[in-house]
Homo-oligomer: A and B are copies of this chain.
Amino acid sequence: MGKVRVAGFSLSLDGYGAGLHQDLENPIGVRGLEIMRWFFETKVFQAMHGQSGGAAGVDNDFASRAFENVGAWILGRNMFGPIRGTWGDESWKGWWGDTPPYHTPVFVLTHYARAPLVMNGGTTFYFVTDGLQSALEQAREAANGKDVRIGGGVSTIRGYLRMGAIDEMHLVLSPVLLGEGEHLFGGLNLPQLGFGQVEAFPGENATHMVLKKS
């Protein structure tokens, strides 16, 4: 069976995985995109957007590994979009245009039912209204032996951490202070949740931390 993992998830030095006040202009909250700068500069990111540029190196290697062997994704509602409440006219299809960078089934946690949304390139968004455990079971089945990647955001990761469901986390610490936002670790005791080992790898624009269960 594949792993359940968090990968390429960016944090500020003060521990925030997103800023506040998400909206169309600020998909990760105000100043949230600053913590992802390491990713935007990689070849992997540029290629995802049809560009040939971008940097090779440690940051790029980790970005690449984050997408390897992933058979299904789980996203929180806010990571899928800024809409709250019902889906309205269902015109919102995610932040990523017609060809999202997932290329697998993606299970979106929501309180509001919606029919599956088939996108180009192999991505289908399934809207799961019966909770984290159900989404995980569906994602595991869809992944068919490959890994399930918990994409985020912060509250989704925290939910799966509390369930003890996450096997491995690759977090990327950016040299940025947000001051406020969604804190990944606040109130969680990671050693108590089973995480005993941390390995650090300096990248070009951020530090990569791999947390494993002991």
Contact = CB atoms under 8 A, between A and B. Distances in A.
A177 B198 CA distance: 7
Given A186-B186, A189-B180, A202-B202, A13 B175 contact: no
Contacts of A173: 13, 173, 207
A92 interface: no
Which of A15, A177, A202 has the most chain B CB within a 10 Å cutoff?
Answer: A177
Give the number of times this chain occurs in the complex, counting copies.
2
A190 interface: yes
A185 B185 CA distance: 12
Contacts of A119: none
A142 interface: no
A209 interface: yes
Interface residues of A, number: 27
A200 interface: yes
A177 B199 contact: no
Interface string A176-198: 11111000011001111001101
B15 A211 contact: no
A209 B207 CA distance: 11
Contact of A192 (B179, B190, B195): B179
A167 interface: no
A168 interface: no
A202 B58 CA distance: 13
A186 B16 CA distance: 11
A14 interface: yes
A155 to B, nearest CB: 17
A15 B185 contact: yes
A176 B198 contact: yes
Given A15-B15, A200-B207, 9 more contacts: A13-B173, A15-B185, A175-B198, A177-B191, A177-B198, A178-B191, A179-B190, A180-B189, A202-B207
